[in-house]
Amino acid sequence: MTALKKNPASVRPDELTKSASAPSSILGSRFNIDKVKAFVAELEVPFSPSLIEWRVVKVSEDRSRGQVIPYADQRAYTDRLNELFTPAGWTRKYTVHTSATFERSRDNKVAAKVFVTCELTIHGIGSHSATGEEWTDNENAGTSAEAQAFKRACSCFGLGRYLYNFNAVWVDLDEHGHPSEMPQLGGWATPEAWRKGLRPSLHGESHAVKPSALAEKKKNSRPDEPSVPPEDRQLIQQIEAMAQPLGKAMYRGLLKTIARVWQPSDIRDRAVLEKVLATMQSAAQGLRRLEAAQERIGSEATKALMNSMHVRSVAQVDNLETLRQLVHALEQSEEQTSAS
């Protein structure tokens, strides 16, 4: 880890957005080189560690441990772009291509690949494009390839590029193959340290990954230190159990909007835990109603209705209001069909 002198052109987001607050100025002219360097410096700042998730990329033979790498949801990328340039200050355009089917070497299955290219334009700065890919036998292939392409295009501007510095690290896995405790990023990989001039070394940065806060607390705690109250622990476990019935998008979306966290164990307020659980239970009930309505009106009618509401799939719904609107529309369509 080395400390570098802070680029004098690097300024805080609030100073930058003063010049980018008027969409007309962004759309109608190019920034000078100093302003471009200042924006890029802000794009390069790491995300808050609370926004980082971990993906398992390799498991041990007994499946008790796995290697994980850090990543951020694409909403963190769009939030940063909106913060710096406003929603009118940048655009993205996708093109989709599908390959011919061929035999996959790892399992000898015959499948095709979907390729999504994202062209990201920041008005006043320029454009970059990148491609993501996924096997078509993945039901979320399009969504996965789209997110991959967008993030790769963002990295060309420096946004999220720091995440490429990490090597995979080993962690314990639970019975579902998920990390039992999430590691934490520290050192240079935080906004505060980055702004002070800390940067990664030229080698892999696994040493910037710290044990989870819970693991560290267990390691350093004394028997007489207070732990999480049993009532709170029970609420956390109930919330964690909602991950599977809700799906990733809805589960993460509710945690983010209600509690501003990615893990329920990060919530310290019991009232917030209760609110999150109640909202998730309501969402689970809505998903059951949605599934029942889908079965009654049929897949074709459901698809047409979802397209009219600009909803690509139920798996992408990440908030309760959209779910309610979708359930209402499907049940209303069912009533109209029955009446006719």
From the number of C-beta atoms within 10 Å of its C-beta (0-12, 13-18, 19+), residue 281 rates as middle
Per-residue pLDDT tens for 43-74? 999 999 889 999 999 998 888 899 999 999 99
Please state the three-class secondary structure of 3-57 as a single string.
ECCCCCCCCCHHHHHHHHCCHHHHHHCCCCHHHHHHHHHHHCCCCCHHHEEEEEE
Question: Mean pLDDT score of the chain, rounded to an integer?
Answer: 83
This prediction has a pTM of: 0.60
**Distance of alpha carbon 171 from the chain centroid:** 21
Asked whether the predicted pLDDT for residue 215 surpasses 80, the reply is no
Domain membership flag for residue 337: no
Number of domain units in the chain: 2
Q: Is residue 340 part of a domain?
A: no
pLDDT band at 262 (very low <50, low <70, confident <90, very high): confident
Same domain, 58 and 150: yes
User: What's the confidence (pLDDT) of residue 42?
Assistant: 96
Residue 21 has pLDDT above 50, yes or no: no
Residues 187 and 232 placed together within one structural domain of the fold: no
Rounded Cα distance, 282 and 275, in Å = 11
Q: At what angle do helices 320-339 and 299-308 cross, to 10 degrees?
A: 130
Q: Residue 114's pLDDT is what?
A: 95
Pairing relation of β-strands 90-98 and 113-122? antiparallel
Cα end-to-end span (Å), the chain: 71
Whether residues 182 and 242 fall in one domain: no
| pLDDT confidence of residue 93 | 97
**Is-contact 170 67, C-beta < 8 A?**
yes
- Overall average pLDDT of the 199-223 stretch: 57
Q: Which of 191, 221, 251 is the last residue of a domain?
A: 221
pLDDT tens digits, 59-115: 988 888 999 999 999 999 999 999 999 999 999 999 999 999 998 888 889 999 999
Letter for the amino acid at 94? Y
Give me the mean pLDDT over the 31-39 stretch: 92
Domain boundary among 198, 221, 244: 221
- pLDDT grade for 323, boundaries at 50, 70 and 90: confident
CA 87 – CA 323 distance, rounded (Å): 24
- Whether residues 127 and 274 fall in one domain: no
Round to whole Å and give the CA distance between 98 and 136: 9
Query: Last residue of a domain, which of 221, 255, 281?
Result: 221
Residues 38 and 176 in one domain: yes
pLDDT beyond 60 at 8: no
Residue 296 exposed, middle or buried by CB count within 10 Å (0-12, 13-18, 19+): middle
CB atoms near residue 24 (< 10 Å): 8
What is the model's pLDDT at position 72?
Answer: 94
pLDDT score at 135: 94
